[in-house]
Structure 1
Amino acid sequence: MGLLQLTTIISLVSLMAVTVLVKAGPGMKQPGMCKCIGDDCVTVIQDRVDFQTAEKVCRDRNGELMAFQSEVVEGIFENLLKGVYGNLWMGLRLPDGLCSNLSAPLRGYEWTAGSTHRDTIPFSGKWTDSVQVCAPHCVSLSYDQKWTERPCSDRIDGFLCKTELKDAFQAQRLSDPCVFLSSEGCSPAPCEHECIDVEGGYKCSCFDRYSPSSQNPHLCKMHCGEEKCPAICDRNTGTCDCPEGFVRSVKICVDIDECEMQQCEHACVNSYGSFICSCKKGFTLQDQVRCVKGAGDGSFTATTPTTQAVNNTLRVSSSTGSLLWLWIFLALALLVLIFVVRHCVVKRHERSEPISHQISTVGAENK
């Protein structure tokens, strides 16, 4: 086997590893589209899950599956589904043990969140079928505003999640920023750094080495995603500052390791600009750092004191699958390379043996 063949095989193996990394990476899941009015936001999350999983994801974001219980949400919705296709879970579920009532506006379904009950169908929504069904059934919404009853175990195209602005921002900052619905767009200069006009409203973004504030995404704060970053200095005064959770050393910002400072009572994980505390079995976390003996769930209970800790945790979890596949294929590539090299060495050795034998024979005859 020649050098050209060996190079070709190695290139093919490397291509396989890169291909699998791309397929296994977080890019498989489409980023959600987020629209906000005031402090209310609704996000389209395009991930094929059942109703229960969709409800849990919304709760993890401190939100709830969308319920049409206010005119504000309806205003967001009318703008939200432009360019979205497929069926999306919303917060309507048939109570256990009941069957649908075709004569009632909501057919006996109940909103899964909120204490306000609304029994009328908003805007121009229409039911797709007129067949009585029984629990467990939930309701999905299509891009053309059709309501469909289907088993809650179905895995459909996505779901609609309603959250407050700060919670929507925390989840959305890993993909695209939320759109703030406004007829004025960027005219009133609503963003501290940069404002981008989009259809129906605007988006805010921050300069390099800054990130949107977790409390108000219209504002920006200093940000460092590494252990060390250059300090941000004012050209006029010459004063230099560092992001929260960092300490300045001359003109360099260095991450503070809160775990070495024993900020947590039990377990501690440091992250750039922050830290995460957790408690042992039988304890619950209080005040972000204290562990109080109580009814634990049998596992570590974690918290994220700042938004930076949330971001680092999500990045690690989202990349775990892709890294696993990468290591598997790199290992396979290494095995293939070892096999090819060994094969070439054996072949070369076999070709050299007859020549060595001939040389030995000629030498013996000359003697």
Structure 2
Amino acid sequence: MATDRVLVPIEQSVTLRRTVAYAVDSVRESDGAAELHFVAAVTDDDQTPTGRAAIEDAESLLDRIRAWVHEDGGESIPIETAVVGTDRYLFSPRDYADRLAEYADEHAIDRAIIDPEYRPGASAPMLRPIEHRLEEHGLTYEEAPVSPATRRDQFVTAGGASRFLTLFLISFGFYLVLGDPTYWFDLVTGTVSGLIVAITLSHVTFPSAPTASRSPIRTLRFFVLYVPYLLFEIVKSNILIAAVILRPSMPIEPRLTRVRMTIPGGLPLTALANSITLTPGTLTVRADDQDLIVHALIPETREGLFEGSLERAVRFVFYGRAGARIPSPEERGDAELLRGEDS
């Protein structure tokens, strides 16, 4: 009797654990021999600064999946795990789907179970590209009928009023900074814009509800200290870039650089990433947890990232003096390691 081989593409998601359990149950209930193939698609590490770390993360996740299969009573079910895609650069969802389909062809796999939250690489959903590509390769497709148990909790959270009011005031204030606070039209349109932003984004903007004790202090630090400092860094970077452009040899060295920040995700990391982008000569391309992928035009701007002055300033805004005393990437010893990963 032919073996029923099932492909399960994986990456970390809120529904992965349930998808694994569903795959085990699906195979256990099938007639005859069955085999599960859990496969992580990771792009070529020579092309991306975070490639090596992504491969290690995928291997660690596959180890956890083996343990989950055992917990779900799948000890008797043969499983195979693999990391694919490291031999090429995967960019679009179609690229990932093609590599997974190639693996299926190589191992005579006839069907696939897909995690509904599977979004490899970028944030683009994989459902439609996978469906089309697997059909072309003669595989049947099934989306695991699972849902994240915490999704409702992410949207129904405590502190809703404070989140709404804080985001409205921030949006309204920023609008007036760009406009004229003495003109009635700007006041009306600013109010409408602030309400729209607060209604649509207040439940996802703040990881925790703003408090009356900390928020005013952070706001004061941001406008009185951080904004002038950021403007100074922007002017300084403008001068550096202008000097390079005006030189006949134009000695630019554009590179992608990974910088590991000691800043939690959410609003603090977003503020830092946008500050780096506002500074001429640097552009934040991607954020992976506490790692930022930054395109730096000249060595001076790249070294400034490792010195961590902007990072330290953002930590001061959100966490005070204790946060500012945390060592920079240069002081932590990360800089030498990360310099070797520049591309």
TM range (shorter): under 0.3
Q: Work out which of the two has the higher radius of gyration on C-alpha atoms and give 1 or 2.
A: 1
Higher relative contact order (CA 8 A, sep 6+): 1
Q: TM-score, structure 1 length as denominator? A: 0.25
Of Structure 1 and Structure 2, the greater helix share is in 2
What is the TM-score when the length of structure 2 is the normalising length? 0.26
Per residue, is there more strand in 1 or in 2? 1
